[in-house]
């Protein structure tokens, strides 16, 4: 088939990629700047990375972010796993159930954050780490659900049928057959949910309480006083962690054994 390409397709694509990623590379480069002014380069230095390691406020925010991300990702993965197993078979209302599970991906995050804040205040839930874990669990469910469901759709049901023919009950079949085959999808879903929770700002900003500041909220508060290489260093570390975890998730989804 002779399909005429749109003129300047390559040039436009390169421009869009440069527009999206060039600021990220600039941020990474200036995180090694020895000058306190973020936009004035003097010479390369690792002092800002040493400072963020020795800053107690940053360590506390990092701890809060890790506790929040691990708790929310674990709960969301368990719920997503149960939901994926439940929606594997056809039943009345299956399409509606899957739509509800994917709803957090469609709704604007600012709307979800404000609605969650109003709900928690109305029912008397104290704002803080517990409230953030509940909220993060909800919007992380679809990120964990999609890889697990994709893995389930690629699995043949003959393995489970063979296990049941050999007199294995449902629990034993799940533990010895289904879960080992499903494990790469579960790990990929957990990784995506963890990265999503770790990088979230809006929900954490609305629901955080005293002493529960996360890294994204800390960065937002710090840039009000001006952008420094310290902020660039924190952002670079978070960027590297996110890239590594997403790459791990992508590799796990391609795992076949």
Domain boundaries in the chain?
55-253
Which of helix, strand or coil describes residue 33? strand
Residue 2 pLDDT level (bands cut at 50, 70, 90): very low
User: Per DSSP, which regions of 18-134 are E strands?
Assistant: none
Which runs of consecutive H residues, i.e. helices, occur in 31-55? 47-54
- Counting every residue written for the chain, the total comes to 257
What whole-number distance in Å separates Cα of residue 35 and Cα of residue 33? 5
Write down the pLDDT at residue 98: 80
Average pLDDT over residues 176-184: 82
- Chain-wide mean pLDDT for the chain? 83
Write down the pLDDT at residue 6: 67
Write down the pLDDT at residue 52: 85
Tokens 């879960």 locate to 179
Write down the pLDDT at residue 72: 94
Write down the pLDDT at residue 132: 93
Average pLDDT over residues 229-248: 83
Which sign does the torsion angle of CA 135, 137, 138, 144 carry? positive
Write down the pLDDT at residue 4: 55
Whole-structure pTM value: 0.81
Higher-pLDDT residue of 119 and 42 is: 119
Write down the pLDDT at residue 255: 61
Q: How far is CA 246 from the centre of its chain?
A: 8
CATH class given for the domain over 55-253: mainly alpha
Tens digits of residue pLDDT in 213-227: 898 888 888 887 777
Residue 240 pLDDT level (bands cut at 50, 70, 90): confident
The two tokens of residue 43 are: 């010479």
Which runs of consecutive H residues, i.e. helices, occur in 124-228? 129-153, 158-165, 170-173, 179-199, 202-207, 215-222
Average pLDDT over residues 84-97: 78
């Amino acid at each position: 088939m002779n399909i005429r390409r749109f003129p300047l397709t390559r040039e436009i694509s390169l421009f869009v990629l440069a527009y999206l990623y060039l600021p990220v590379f600039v941020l990474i480069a200036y995180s090694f700047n020895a000058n306190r002014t973020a936009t004035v380069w003097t010479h390369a230095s690792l002092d800002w990375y040493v400072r963020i390691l020795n800053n107690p406020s940053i360590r506390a925010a990092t701890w809060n972010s890790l506790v929040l991300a691990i708790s929310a990702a674990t709960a969301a993965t368990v719920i997503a796993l149960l939901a994926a197993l439940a929606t594997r078979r056809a039943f009345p209302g299956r399409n509606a159930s899957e739509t509800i599970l994917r709803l957090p991906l469609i709704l604007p995050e600012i709307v979800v954050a404000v609605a969650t804040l109003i709900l928690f205040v109305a029912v008397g839930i104290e704002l803080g780490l517990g409230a953030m874990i509940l909220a993060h669990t909800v919007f992380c469910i679809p990120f964990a659900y999609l890889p697990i469901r994709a893995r389930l759709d690629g699995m043949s049901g003959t393995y489970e049928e063979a296990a049941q023919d050999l007199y294995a009950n449902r629990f034993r079949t799940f533990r010895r057959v289904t879960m080992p085959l499903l494990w790469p999808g579960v790990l990929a879903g957990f990784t995506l949910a963890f990265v999503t929770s770790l990088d979230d700002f809006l929900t954490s900003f609305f629901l955080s309480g005293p002493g529960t500041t996360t890294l994204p909220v800390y960065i937002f508060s710090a840039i009000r006083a001006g952008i420094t290489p310290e902020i660039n260093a924190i952002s670079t570390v978070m960027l590297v962690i996110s890239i590594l975890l997403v790459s791990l998730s992508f590799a796990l989804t391609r795992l076949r054994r």
